[in-house]
A and B are shown apart, each in its own frame.
Chain A
Amino acid sequence: ETGVTQTPRHLVMGMTNKKSLKCEQHLGHNAMYWYKQSAKKPLELMFVYSLEERVENNSVPSRFSPECPNSSHLFLHLHTLQPEDSALYLCASSQDPGSGANVLTFGAGSRLTVL
């Protein structure tokens, strides 16, 4: 596969469940990102990993826990979520977050519904 792959594409979970979202990039990029996309709202940056180190954590609630075991894989662990966490979660990668035209390559997203 090429590009950025996210699984699962759809997830329904109760507020007491624990689940994980997975992202994999086959582009040789050095940085990976988690974004939250809610209807009619701007993309919200959640976490950034550069060379497997977390470089950004935008005041995200602790019920979201990222993990980056290597430069190709990124996880978002979910536990005790709230209904307002229902959204599309997008993973992205890029070559170098600190340089000029740092173009993001996105995955198709994981649509999360919290009941």
Chain B
Amino acid sequence: GQNIDQPTEMTATEGAIVQINCTYQTSGFNGLFWYQQHAGEAPTFLSYNVLDGLEEKGRFSSFLSRSKGYSYLLLKELQMKDSASYLCAVRDSNYQLIWGAGTKLIIKP
């Protein structure tokens, strides 16, 4: 079967750095997505990786290793507004999106 694993919950301190991991086992691979979802709001697109390596976008970076079936989302200089759930999703060989259950990130002052 197809599976995406990510931690259920993480806690970090304002101003610090946090890394949210995502591992996947899917039938083929056509890209990996990260979305952010604040409580009661719509998920919003953060990043897309299809080749190995690091994609940097301001305070957020996303890394992919296809050989390891592994990605991480790195958040720097954490702000209180970064408290949200972070969803990892992989597009398989049939272009279906397989979703993880999401990681709830709690930022403490």
Chain A residues within CB distance 8 Å of chain B: 4, 40-43, 45, 90, 97-98, 100-109
Write out the residue numbers on chain A whose beta carbons fall within 8 Å of the beta carbon of B40: 108
Interface class of chain A by DSSP: loop
On whether the beta carbons of A42 and B101 are closer than 8 Å, the reply is yes
Binary interface encoding of chain B residues 34-60 relative to chain A, with 1 for a CB under 8 A from any of its CBs, else 0: 010000111111001010000000000
On whether the beta carbons of B31 and A109 are closer than 8 Å, the reply is no
Indicate the member of A101, A107, A109 with the most B CB atoms within 10 Å. Answer: A101
Binary interface encoding of chain B residues 79-100 relative to chain A, with 1 for a CB under 8 A from any of its CBs, else 0: 0000000010101000111111
Bound CA span A102–B100, Å: 17
Residue of A nearest to B95 (CB): A98
On whether the beta carbons of A45 and B8 are closer than 8 Å, the reply is no
On whether the beta carbons of A101 and B50 are closer than 8 Å, the reply is yes
Write out the residue numbers on chain B whose beta carbons fall within 8 Å of the beta carbon of A90: 42-43
**Known contacts A40-B101, A42-B99; is A106 also within 8 Å of B31 by CB?**
no
